[in-house]
Chains A and B, each alone.
Chain A
Amino acid sequence: MSAFVALLARDVRLATRAGGSAMLALAFFAAVATLVPFGIGSEPKLLARVAAGIVWIAAVLAGLLALDRLFQADYEDGSLDLLALSPVSFEGIAAAKIAAHWLTTGLPLTILSPLLALLLNLPTKAYITLFVSLLVGTSAISAIGGVAAALTLSIRRGGLLLPLLVLPLLTPALIFGAGAVLAKLDRIENGAIWFLAAFSAVAVLLSPFLTAAALRFNLAE
């Protein structure tokens, strides 16, 4: 367990140090979300309607940003060999790195999201729904992204392939996440948030095993 925590702590530290991916993802998230009104016009009613969708798309894209280096950096510098020989199983390695990815991207994005919601004129009654949907849904981004990152590990320019693998799989999260906020705005009870929670739970539970299988395959290649 202490080895698992050590790996998690190292990855969080690497992501938050200078040149790490955490601040980059956060800045990218804010940049995408603030750019959209320039493209679609700043009509407040329109923005209020699309705010949740924009924030969600920005979160998905920002989450992808650091994913391609999730395992590749360790693979290239030989760290992955040393991780593989450590007492931590491949499943443990996968879970620690995916958790670290969520802690350094998904969680900060979620915390920043009310500010962007304010910028995009989202009605205040929907803030909590947006916050909760991101809190739950960003874990699916890290979980599914982890599998794809492990699959594309040994591919040169795998970072370009990765979004193509991840984005279709994340469609349900986007639909339920943004859908939950829209339902709140329209005062409908559609249970989207529960579907999102179920989707994230399945992704988070399966991901370490699928990621570990992909790591084993790529390392022994």
Chain B
Amino acid sequence: MGALPPVIFVEAERLACVRGGRPVFRDVSFRLERGQALVVEGPNGSGKTSLLRLIAGLLAPADGTVSFSSGAARADDGEERGRFVGWLGHNDASKPQLTAAESLRFFARLYDATGDSIPALLETVGLSRAAALPCQYLSAGQKRRLGLARLKLCGRPVWLLDEPLASLDSAGKSLLLDFVREHLAAGGLAVIATHDPLDLEAARLQLT
């Protein structure tokens, strides 16, 4: 695994989010250091996905700030922050016509990732037999495993995971936890939005 660009901490201050004219949450603050994870919990519609999008810079906050700090440099701007983010959203971003291996090769080139070998990675996530299969024939769980492989491949320091356990079987779930633990041990950070209890040592943030 290639060295992660060092993000020392992620800080959110008094974040507020408004969607479609309706306030979703306000006054959300947290601070996350290297090697730490934050689990975001809350009922449907409490703004878990919106919070992740705010952190990634895909969405502009109605109020408050998010900043990533990597030593001397601070990234406050959304598009600057995006360059540090590894994203696993609830949509799997796989193209039905591309095979699993092609899809990973594309993201490796797009993210200029050189760390992991793609066949080895597909083997790790249990997709080596499906590597040459167009993604339209993959099951929801397999697509999610492909997403995990992509996440690891891209080698970004701040992982933002939206319901990462959805459609994964029990082996897949433990694979995900292994990936997250390995990522944290290497000095990465992770924010995970989930309903399910996670067997992970992490700070908790409850959205209402």
Asked, given contacts A6-B110, A220-B59, whether A85 binds B85 with beta carbons under 8 Å apart, the answer is yes
Contact of B95 among A7, A14, A83, A88 (CB under 8 A): A14
Check B97 for interface membership: any CB of A closer than 8 A.
yes
Complex: how many Å from CA A86 to CA B83?
6
Is residue A77 within 8 Å, beta carbon to beta carbon, of the partner chain? yes
Q: Which of A15-23, A50-58, A141-149 contacts B (4 or more CB under 8 A)?
A: A15-23
1/0 per position for B83-103, CB-CB distance to A under 8 A? 101010111111111100010
Q: How far is the CA of A90 from the CA of B79 in the complex (A)?
A: 9
Given contacts A13-B98, A77-B92, A77-B95, contact A84 B58 (CB under 8 A): yes
B98 touches A87 (CB 8 A): no
Q: How many residues of A contact B (CB 8 A)?
A: 28
CA distance A85 to B56 in the complex (A): 8
Interface centre among A76, A85, A87 (most CB of B within 10 A): A85
Binary interface profile of B, 104-118, with partner A (CB < 8 Å = 1, else 0)? 001101111000000
Cβ–Cβ < 8 Å partners of B91 in chain A: 76-78, 81
Show 24 A/B contacts (Cβ-Cβ < 8 Å), sorted by A. Answer: A2-B109, A6-B109, A10-B106, A13-B102, A19-B97, A76-B91, A77-B92, A77-B95, A78-B92, A78-B93, A81-B87, A81-B93, A82-B107, A82-B110, A82-B150, A84-B58, A85-B58, A85-B82, A85-B156, A86-B111, A87-B111, A87-B112, A88-B110, A219-B58
